[in-house]
Structure 1
């Protein structure tokens, strides 16, 4: 990469797209960049560990399970191995090495794909995988409500490169100018604001209530919508992230019905981010898909509320982030809109094949009685138990740190603790033109080797400060996290004075 110089060039920061420059993605922002620099210094050895005061980083900034010692899932990786080396199926080696159901599944996929895993697929992905996803959705929702809802048409399903690959085309189809707005929960996953910035659309924030477990209130929805329309914004859609990222809450069915009623009354589309649907830890909490809620409410909602729902191979218990597998389901869109929407992902030809196959094996894992079932069940249960344990212990440990409060983690894989800081610390950060929680997070990685993300990167009520942390590292690392954060926060208080009290 060439460094900046006085040489005359057509493309410079001043001439770049203003939309590109406006797009921000805090998950891989300045804190993560600084962490990479520190990690490179530590890798050199010598006096680096002594200089920093720690020998390794604890990375809590991304929901990337397999970067936190989570082993790849045996069954899907065995199937993929055979598909990538089909000669093992042909010469009989596979039957000597792999369980019979792995061999059978690989042969089934090979037949469905005609063995062509290096070519383009249809824009919406392989038909047999979309059929498996349709069956998965029906089984999930029918079991939840205890009755039979409308069947799922595989033609309404689009496979994608992760859930992110679904968000881009659907927002492209919704947003035409800065006059078009999309309601986004705050705090939010920054993918949505970044994409809206690139498209030139307007973010219409609705604030989650931290005092009510990051709940969605009807009053906040109405206030958010009214403020936008008074400014001449055409609100096109509302985004719902359930379970919540970065906030870790799980929405109750009654709250979701309120959102559906609101969307119907305002005639706006619902975008339902459901990538953490397997990650439910709190007693008494249950995942409800937005599709289940819409159809379960009956007429007029079941026929008139338009819904985009998406899921991913990256999260849940499997954590296959790098495979980039995901899907999008459309509900209640007329044929002409549907056909126009098909055109958008077709610009990128098709989703990657291995991501499609991973999604297939997530929605259709080994069944009871099959040779791989017991090992699959053991892997699943062990990982889930670890996540559930850390979801309980991390907030408990953080609440012991002076100036930090933390809501329970009901689902997903994150906590979003609130930090109360000394007023002098806040004033000093603002005088430098920096967000106080960003300064806090930068200090945490530089002084303690703990990588988090400032709440300002996700949005928060003005005058409050937060950080996002995952619960993915092993138990021993998570115990060390609380210790390091406690030591760091106490040093700040010792230097700057007591934390500023807040009525917020």
Structure 2
């Protein structure tokens, strides 16, 4: 089963922040700034937000912008549509059902704006300009608002939990969930915090991190006597491994889930980020439907997507959705009851999610710019993927499988016995030792592979590839220089 006893989250992050502070205070280092590629935050990494999304969000926050020539017509129309779903035309939520009375007097919650209290103009103006920074130069906003916006921007750093339904905390044996290795560490922690057991199945690095049904079977057998596996967690495209499942692979997994009566949890948040040769994203929901009976009507599926990890890259808005397929009506009723008691996502997050799902269409005033920005991001990612593969595989003691999708590279380190021994003497995992030295000496902040799971005796690092091309070139230059020195020092 999954061993998380050695996880010490935040140590590298704290040191990275300390180094950033030291550089601002004038401490001399071989580099002028830290290249932070630890997280998959597009905007923090330097990728620009999509203009249309930010224009609509800004106008939703500050509705007078609907009449401003600074925004294109379709952005203003879309703003009106989004606000039309909000109570009183302000960011909130309501439905217009015809009754003997014209409106409901809603005093159930303590929501000032929903109750009819006007939002503070200054606050809304600052929020609008923070969402869409070009407004800083607009005469539509007073000078003090624009100045405050600049101050706030300098401070910026850049669904619902189905597991609660699946995991029985009091069950004996405990509930088990099959988890890919490597896998995002927060997913593993979420499972374990619920009292469930994370059952690892290993992706085949030798075959481009392929998911093999034989390995799923091995993992299921390993759980006997330990836990009762009820779900199979899939990440497609992979994080951090960067693989993309073929249609054949998806069909094999669905058949396996049907045969073993496993609930499919499918993380598809990187579905737009596919750029490998002869690769395309294959939807589990669509494939399940196309497979027909008995699969299409019996395999239970939850598919996840997020506005944070698409090309929108709106990590700060924290909005996503889950599609549920083939669940019993009684279970669905319970899920709606369970989720309705929790606070929903922010209204701006929900609007951004709606914009992601229904972007500008051909013929709309914003379409050409929207398409151009999407293609520009894709071009950068394709370039970065190619360069990472070229450079990493040219370095001794380093190898990287083809990156087909997602936002991360997960290359393998072939460390020398001397380096491994030195790490042990310091009480560190070997790849943590490598990442620590890379941060200190090269100014590149990456994540050690062991935090995401890896086969015994193998070592990796993870870093985000969604950075501007010039940043990627500098990253690879620093990584190459550091790596050659490191391997020489510990040869």
Name the TM tier (shorter chain): 0.7 to 0.9
Q: Is residue 2:182 matched to residue 1:187?
A: yes
Conserved 8 A contact 1:117-1:353 = no
| Secondary structure of the structure 2 residue equivalent to 1:380 | helix
- Matched residue SS, 2:162: helix
- Give the number of the structure with larger relative contact order, counting CA–CA contacts within 8 Å between residues 6 or more apart: 1
Alignment partner of 1:258 out of 252, 258, 261: 252
Matched, 1:456 2:429: no
**Aligned partner (choices 18, 21, 34) of residue 40 of structure 1:** 21
What SS does the aligned partner of 1:66 have?
coil
Runs (4+) of structure 1 exceeding 3 A deviation are 21-26, 114-122
Residue 176 of structure 1 pairs with residue 164 of structure 2:
no
Which residue, out of 28, 32, 44, partners 1:55? 32
Map of 1:112 onto structure 2: 85
Q: Which residue of 1 aligns with 2:73?
A: 100
Who is 1:204 aligned against?
Answer: 199
Q: Give the number of equivalent residue pairs.
A: 422
- Superposition deviation, residue 481 in structure 1: 1.7
Q: What aligned pairs does 1:77-476 form with structure 2 within 5 A after superposition?
A: 77-89=54-66, 93-94=67-68, 96-115=69-88, 117-119=90-92, 165-166=159-160, 169-177=161-169, 179-228=174-223, 230-476=224-470
- For residues 428 and 389 of structure 1, what CA distance do their matches in structure 2 show? 36
Residues 23 and 424 (structure 1), Cα distance of their counterparts in 2 relative to 1, 3 Å cut: closer
Measured after TM superposition, the shift of residue 316 of structure 1 is 2.2
Contact 2:87 2:93 (C-alpha < 8 Å) held by counterparts: no
Render the CA deviation track for 1:446-503: whole Å, top value 9, x for unaligned.
Answer: 1100010000000000000000011122212212222222222222222221xxxxxx
How far, CA to CA, are the matches of 1:117 and 1:274 in structure 2?
A: 32
Deviation string, structure 1 residues 403-462 (Cα, Å, up to 9, x no partner): 000011101111100001110111221243321001110111011000100000000000
Quick one: distance in 2 between partners of 1:83 and 1:23? 45
Match of 1:8 in 2: none
Whole-Å Cα distance in 2 between the matches of residues 399 and 429 of structure 1? 24
* SS of equivalent to 2:43: helix
With over 3 angstroms needed to count, the CA separation of the structure-2 counterparts of 1:425 and 1:22, relative to structure 1, is closer
Distance 1:290 1:381, change over 3 A: same
Cα 1:444/1:23, change in 2 over 3 Å: closer
Counterpart CA distance in 2 for 1:75 and 1:55 is: 34
Is 1:31 the counterpart of 2:12 in the alignment? yes
**Inter-partner Cα distance in structure 2 for 1:22 and 1:109:** 46
Distance in 1, Cα, partners of 2:15 & 2:452:
19
Whether the 8 Å CA contact 1:23–1:194 is kept in 2: the answer is no
Q: State the 1:376 CA deviation.
A: 1.0
- Contact kept, 8 Å, 1:120 with 1:349, in 2: the verdict is no
Structure 2 SS opposite 1:240: strand
Looking at structure 2, the residues matched to 23 and 367 of structure 1 have their Cα atoms a distance apart, in angstroms, of: 49
Alignment correspondent of 2:112: none
Alignment partner for residue 67 of structure 1, among 31, 34, 44? 44
- Paired with 1:268 and 1:97, the residues of 2 have a C-alpha distance of 52
Quote the Cα distance in structure 1 between the aligned partners of 2:83 and 2:285: 32
Q: Which 10-residue stretch deviates more, 368-377 or 473-482?
A: 473-482
Q: Under a length normalisation based on structure 1, what TM-score does the superposition of the two structures give?
A: 0.81
1:120 Cα deviation from its structure 2 partner:
6.0
Q: Does the 8 A contact of 1:23 with 1:193 survive in 2? A: no
- Asked whether the equivalents of residues 182 and 454 of structure 2 are also in contact (C-alpha less than 8 Å), the reply is yes
Structure-2 separation of matches of 1:456 and 1:110: 46
Conservation of the 8 A alpha-carbon contact between 1:402 and 1:486: no
Whole-angstrom distance in 1 between the partners of 2:94 and 2:457:
50
How far apart, CA to CA, are the structure 2 residues paired with 1:331 and 1:81?
35
- Kindly state the Cα deviation for residue 232 of structure 1 after the two structures are TM-superposed: 3.5
Structure 1: which 5+ residue stretches go unaligned? 1-20, 123-164, 498-504
Give ranges in structure 2 of 5+ residues lacking alignment: 96-158
Q: Deviations over 1:23-50 (max 9, x none)?
A: 9585xx32122111110111112xx1x2
Note the C-alpha offset of 1:64. 0.3
Q: Structure 2 length as normaliser, TM-score?
A: 0.83
What is the DSSP-based 3-state SS (H/G/I as helix, E as strand, rest coil) of the residue aligned with 2:179?
Answer: strand
Q: Structure 1 108/465 Cα, relative in aligned 2: closer, same or farther at 3 Å? A: same
Structure 1 residues 82 and 331: CA distance shift in structure 2, 3 A: same
Aligned 8 A contact 1:25 1:191 in 2:
no
